[in-house]
Amino acid sequence: MSHPVFAVVGRVNKGKSSIIATLAEDPQVAISPTPGTTRRLTRFPVQVDGETLFELVDTPGFEEASRALHWLRAEDVTADARPARVAALLAAFADGDDLRDERTLLAPILEGAFVIYVVDGSRPFRPNYEDEMEILRWTGRPGMALINRIAAGDHAAAWRPALQQYFSVVRDFDAHRATFDQRVGLLRAFRELDAGLAPALDRAVRALSEERARRRAEVTTLLTDLVIDAVTLTREARAERKDALAKEALEADFHAALRAREQAARSAVAALYKHPAAWAEGELDRPVLDEDLFAERTWKGLGLTPGQLIAAATAAGATTGGAIDVAVGGASFMVGALVGGALGAAGGWAQSMAKRVAQATHVKDVLQGDDRRPRFRVGPHQNPNFPFVLLDRALLHYDAVLRRTHARQDAATVEAGGRGPTAGLDRAARAALTRAFADVRRDFRDPPRAAREAIHAQIAPLVEAVDRAAGGTPS
């Protein structure tokens, strides 16, 4: 066998498939509250760059353990002959449906798979579980017991001493809330089953950690591209000067395009962590995320505070007494906002920041051809807080993706609370981003490479901090 194989076994509906889904990062594992959803063996190889690191085998649950154990004990055999006796059980009932689930789950174990026995720690221990554990002991294969929790309640204290009599390793593992660090920790615990497992599992831990680092790098690039694309976006059209409907349609198209870019980035991040795109497109139960990108509550809760924006603009080199940012063919925000010693202007300046939507403005151009109507443009979005709000939303969505295990079948939700990550940036980082955003907005047709690199450099530690907080220790 070129890689370790682990057979995940236990009673029906105790979380076997959930554990596999979480460890394998596979949303395709069949998980259902209906008992007996898994009725056959399904193998889930865990791969990185085409190499299978280890394999998890989803098995049917024990259904007639007492009857199977009775058959095994009907013939008096010594301990060394018990694995052969289990093999005889499989052969004796091979032509019928009797003990089908027991035979199916025992087959990969007899072929050399290690045992992962799963129990529900939210339910009390019952003596009849001992029949299942005794059968597994008869196979002679090393095994670990996992105390999973399906619902409320904690009976682990009763389970642990019982399990320790049958399994050399007993661990608690919550398949619905496990972090990356906890998944890797479980792999390290697998090493205790057999000394020969250490090289393969150490290689698996190393490969998974390296993949996690690659994903962080890809997320950093995705978010950099999103922010720059959004800050430089424009829409143009010709219309009569008094044609309000045409200008409103142009503005609507501009804002719809920004929303679409945000949604595409969310889907890409979710797919990177093997979550279905449909989940990424759903609503997250947090005001700053389930609100529209341009909703008032979104802008009140995310981005930099007015004081931080003033300080960042000042540090970025804004001219004292001048506009913090000059409108370039788009929405006219921040006009007359004074910085430096004019702290009393902060209130009026903050009020101007409440404008979240861009407006169509007339653009001077040389009229030619038959269409002599004036040309209007929407964008680039001029509000200096816009890229910070967009970046916060992207980072919060990233956090939600990281914290959601593949065993979860419920609606995606995120706990509310606090401002977004960008508010925690230090003064120098806020100034660097403010300056870079202004540079790409000013040269929106060909954003400076140095500004792109500066934005990427500031987003990278934000992404790393979110990953660390979600339980993915950077390698």
Over residues 399-435, the pLDDT tens digits come to: 989 988 888 766 665 454 567 899 899 999 999 999 9
Higher pLDDT, 370 or 187: 187
pLDDT computed for residue 29 by the predictor: 67
Which stretches does DSSP call E strand in 113-181?
A: 114-120, 143-148, 169-172
Among 162-166, 248-252, 454-458, which is the least confidently predicted range? 248-252
CA atoms within 13 A on the CB side of 429: 15
Which pLDDT belongs to residue 406? Answer: 86
Listed in sequence order, the residues at least 6 apart from 287 whose beta carbon sits closer than 8 Å to its beta carbon are 297, 298, 301, 416
pLDDT at 239 exceeding the cut of 60: yes
Q: Helix (H, G, I), strand (E, B), or coil: what is residue 17?
A: helix
Q: Is the dihedral of CA 270, 276, 282, 286 positive or negative?
A: negative
Q: 432 vs 310, 339, 456, 464, CA distance in Å?
A: 13, 17, 11, 18
State whether the Cα torsion 238-240-243-244 is positive or negative. Answer: positive
Beta strands 235-238; 169-172: pairing state = unpaired
Region for 17 from its dihedrals, namely left if φ exceeds 0, alpha if ψ lies in -120 to 50, beta otherwise: alpha
How far apart CA 310 and CA 49 sit, in angstroms, is 47
Top-confidence residue, 324 or 440: 440
Token look-up 């020969």 returns 196
Which pLDDT band holds residue 38 (cuts at 50, 70, 90)? very low
Domains parsed from the chain with CATH numbers: 5-176 (3.40.50.300), 216-469 (no CATH)
* Confidence (pLDDT) at 290: 60
Least confident of 44-53, 65-74, 233-242, 348-357: 348-357
Judge whether residue 368 has pLDDT over 80: no
Helices assigned H by DSSP within 1-122: 16-24, 65-73, 82-92, 100-110
Rounded CA gap, 198 and 211, in Å? 20
Q: Dig out the tokens for 363 from the structure.
A: 């653009």
Inform me whether the pLDDT recorded for 37 exceeds 50. Answer: no
Instruction: For residue 369, name the pLDDT band (cuts at 50, 70, 90).
Output: low
Let me know how long the chain is. 475
Question: Cα separation of 60 and 443, whole Å?
Answer: 61
DSSP 243: -
b/e per residue, 12-39, with b = 16+ CB within 10 A?
Answer: bbbbbbbbbbbbbbbbebebeeeeebbe
What order of strands is seen across the sheet that includes strand 51-58? Answer: 42-48, 51-58, 5-10, 114-120, 143-148, 169-172
Complete edge-to-edge strand list for the sheet that includes strand 375-378? 235-238, 375-378, 361-363
Q: Encode pLDDT of 194-230 as tens digits.
A: 999 999 999 999 999 999 999 999 999 999 999 999 9
Indicate if the pLDDT at residue 349 is higher than 90: no
**pLDDT averaged over the chain?**
84
Range with top average pLDDT, 24-33, 413-422, 442-451? 442-451
C-beta of residue 156 within 8 angstroms of C-beta of residue 145:
no
Per-residue model confidence (pLDDT) at position 285: 42
Mean pLDDT calculated for residue range 71-97: 96
